[in-house]
């Protein structure tokens, strides 16, 4: 008989302890946070219930869209799209030059890095609507103030996205180009942008998608396009034309959203 078969087997390792059920704890914390929000904001559920009927009556006024002037609506939507497109182009140009300066591995020095970072922070901190009001006061009504407002604000976001992408590129690629004696512009053009091109295109499409939505809103403060027409019809209580304008905006945003998603999948 084989002596190895007579040896006692080693005891099986103990099973790990059963994980604790923390769901009641998290549920209690969420309810406590919800109660704190309701208490701090002094939300009255009774007032909200009464307001549902008023909101239903108000939205019922938009039940008969008036598409009698559809060609003008589409023309105004085209102006809004052009505003978003040129705003995105402006942001892309600014971010193209500022992002390498705001990336730690590409910037020529600490001073240029800090200046570029603070400029991008300032652009992101300035809201679109505030910039649009400033540019409308300076340049007058029209799509130009809207394009500049969108461009300045979103340049801060694009610059930050690009800079962080440049900081994540493979160090070997950067060192290989730098070892050839390449200067700052050459390192950026041969090691930086080719490494993040697909990611940068994805970010740019996202900003364009976002700017189309905001361009419609900026029209409400005089930045031209379909938003300005919507503001005028709302002020005149012309709910039929307002409903038609809103539907045109929604349809355009949906088309652009699906097109952007398709392009992102192609890039990915």
- Which tens digit of pLDDT belongs to each residue from 105-123? 888 889 999 999 999 999 9
CA nearest to 225, candidates 91, 78, 69, 70: 78
pTM of the entire predicted model: 0.78
| 95/183 Cα distance (integer angstroms) | 20
Structural domains of the chain, with CATH = 69-267 (1.10.3720.10)
- Which tens digit of pLDDT belongs to each residue from 164-212? 999 888 887 877 888 888 888 888 888 888 888 888 988 998 898 899 8
Least-confidence region, from 114-118, 204-208, 220-224, 264-268: 264-268
| pLDDT for res 3 | 53
Question: Please, what's the b/e burial string for 77-91 (b: 16 or more CB within 10 A of its CB; e: otherwise)?
Answer: bebbbbbbbbbbebb
Per-residue pLDDT, averaged over 35-51, amounts to: 80
Residue ranges of alpha helices (H) inside 102-142 are 110-125, 128-139
| 116/249 Cα distance (integer angstroms) | 36
């Amino acid at each position: 008989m084989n002596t190895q078969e007579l040896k006692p087997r080693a005891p099986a390792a103990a099973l790990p302890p059963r994980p604790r059920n923390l769901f009641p704890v998290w549920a209690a914390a969420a309810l406590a946070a919800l109660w704190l929000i309701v208490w701090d904001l002094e939300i009255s559920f009774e007032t909200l219930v009464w307001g549902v009927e008023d909101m239903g009556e108000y939205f019922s006024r938009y039940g008969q869209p008036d598409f009698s002037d559809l060609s003008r609506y589409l023309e105004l939507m085209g102006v809004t799209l052009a505003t978003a497109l040129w705003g995105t182009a402006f942001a892309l140009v600014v971010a193209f030059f500022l992002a390498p300066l705001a990336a730690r591995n590409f910037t020529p020095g600490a001073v240029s890095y800090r200046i570029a970072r603070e400029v991008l922070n300032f652009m992101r901190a300035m809201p679109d609507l505030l910039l649009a009001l400033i540019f409308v006061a300076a340049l007058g009504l029209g799509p130009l103030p809207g394009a500049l407002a969108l461009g300045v604000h979103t340049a801060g976001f694009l610059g930050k996205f690009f800079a962080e992408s440049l900081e994540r590129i493979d160090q070997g690629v950067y060192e290989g180009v730098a070892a050839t004696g390449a200067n700052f512009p050459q390192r950026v053009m041969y090691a930086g942008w080719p490494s993040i091109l697909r990611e940068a295109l994805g970010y740019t499409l996202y900003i364009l998608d976002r700017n189309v939505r905001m361009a419609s809103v900026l029209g409400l403060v005089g930045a031209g396009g379909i938003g300005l027409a919507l503001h005028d019809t709302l002020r005149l209580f012309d709910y039929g034309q307002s409903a038609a304008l809103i539907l045109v905006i929604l349809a355009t945003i949906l088309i652009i959203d699906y097109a952007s998603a398709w392009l992102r999948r192609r890039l990915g």
